[in-house]
Structure 1
Amino acid sequence: MSTRIAKLPPVMRKEPRQARSKATVEAVIEAGARILSDQGWAEFTTNKVADAAGVSIGSLYQYFPDKLSLIEAIRRRHLDDCLAVMRKSWKEGLPVALFVEGLVRDMIAAHSIHPGLHRVLIDEAPSFHASKDPHSAFETEYLGYYARAVASYRTHETDAANHTVALIISDAIDGVIHNAARRGMLAEPQVKDQLVRMIGLYLGEAATA
């Protein structure tokens, strides 16, 4: 079970500005995500990450003062990947079936790159109260995309009712995908097909109710 730390998340020592330094930071974050996904928090060390990234340990510490700051950078990138899916999934006038199909497909794809990562971030790696805040900037933006999509299909409903539907759809998609990743089932077509069918039926019924 992950340790909850009651302080603000650690930050990077400095932000990369040049292309080379940005490539170094990206390589470190990518290597760290891969190690966390494949080996878990217990095997996660800065030396392993630097070696996997093909950089010196000094280069890693130039940007990340410790493991916790690196974990937070990995966590932020994972959340950013999920937001990127939401940003491109819904467009005005898009039929319900196409919206749901694209959303589920792309969210599964985002979690398939490092399928064990989300579980380790939730269950093993240290986390901060801010990362669990249901009113965080991430949660607000993430649910906001769902809410806008739902409102476009349920124009006759109140904002509060649409927000509830958005919350249920978000939790259903996240829960199924995260548990499929735990069970090694993300690549199984039935998971995607049944999740699309379930959300499509629910949102379709909600839109016409």
Structure 2
Amino acid sequence: MRKAPRQARSRVTVEAIVEAGARILSEHGWAEFTTNKVAEAAGVSVGSLYQYFPDKLSLIEAIRRRHLDDCLAIMRRSGEGQKSVERFVDDLVRDMFAAHSLNPGLHRVLLDEAPSFDATRDPHSAFEAEYIGHYAAAVEAYRASAEGASNRVMAMILSDVMDGVIHNAARRGMLGSVELKQELVRLLCTYLAASDR
């Protein structure tokens, strides 16, 4: 961002711009994504948009960052309280699908059309460390045995399964599939709760 919003009104403006950008990407794709369309949909002038975002690439990164922050918030909530493995996984799958369903076309565009930056793909980023860390905490809490794969390896597998299923569901227009969610829950529960051989 060009500058961080300091006042409540500025934060509302930035949020309106980011939300409008997410809607336009979701509904029209990268090819039709322009700052003029975003400003109009957000109800602000293009000049106001440029106060915070110097170009549409910076706006894409803000949209992507908001999504990643939403995913981290879900992971933080998922680890709260004492839950059975089934409840933990069911809540996590439900909330992750819900987050990806807000603007269902957005994730396909972010994954397949919009440019991304090296920081987004960095496997050593602060986001990745925290995200995998939440899965590792789940492995620590729920795995049946201390033998076998390390917590970190199991955490990466759980994360990759979750992300792969949800992102491909977004590509296929299947985010609303009850059967897909049920099968993902079954898969993750089986992996987390299975005793090592």
Query: Shorter-normalised TM-score: what interval?
Result: over 0.9
The amino acid that maps onto 1:27 is A
How many equivalent pairs are there?
197
Q: Distance in 2 between matches of 1:129 and 1:159?
A: 33
- 1:55 equivalent to 2:44? Answer yes
Q: How does 1:1-209 map to 2 (within 5 A)?
A: 12-91=1-80, 93-154=82-143, 156-157=145-146, 161-206=150-195
**Runs (5+) with no aligned partner, structure 2:** none
In structure 1, the gaps of 5 or more residues are 1-11
In 2, Cα distance between equivalents of 1:61 and 1:159: 52
TM-score by length of 1: 0.89
Q: Residue 151 of structure 1 contacts residue 159 of structure 1 at CA under 8 Å; is this kept in 2?
A: no
Q: Which has the higher contact order (CA 8 A, sep 6+)?
A: 1
CA distance in 2, matches of 1:156, 1:128: 39
Question: Per-residue CA shift, 1:169-207, capped at 9, x if unaligned?
Answer: 11111111111111111112111111111111111115x
* Distance in structure 1 (CA, Å) of the matches to 2:179 and 2:144: 32
Is residue 93–residue 181 contact of structure 2 (8 Å, CA) maintained in 1? Answer: yes
- Give the partner amino acid of 1:64: F
Q: Name the TM-score, length of structure 2 as normaliser.
A: 0.94
Tell me: CA distance 1:39–1:125, structure 2 relative to 1, closer, same or farther (3 Å).
same
| Larger mean Cα displacement after TM superposition, 186-195 or 21-30 | 186-195
Structure 1 stretches of 4+ with a deviation exceeding 3 A read none
Mapped to 2, the partners of 1:113 and 1:61 lie a distance apart of: 25
CA RMSD, Structure 1 to Structure 2 (Å): 1.6
Identity of aligned residues (%): 68
Instruction: Kindly indicate whether the alpha-carbon contact (under 8 Å) linking 2:143 and 2:193 is maintained by their aligned counterparts in 1.
Output: no
Q: Which amino acid aligns with 1:140?
A: A
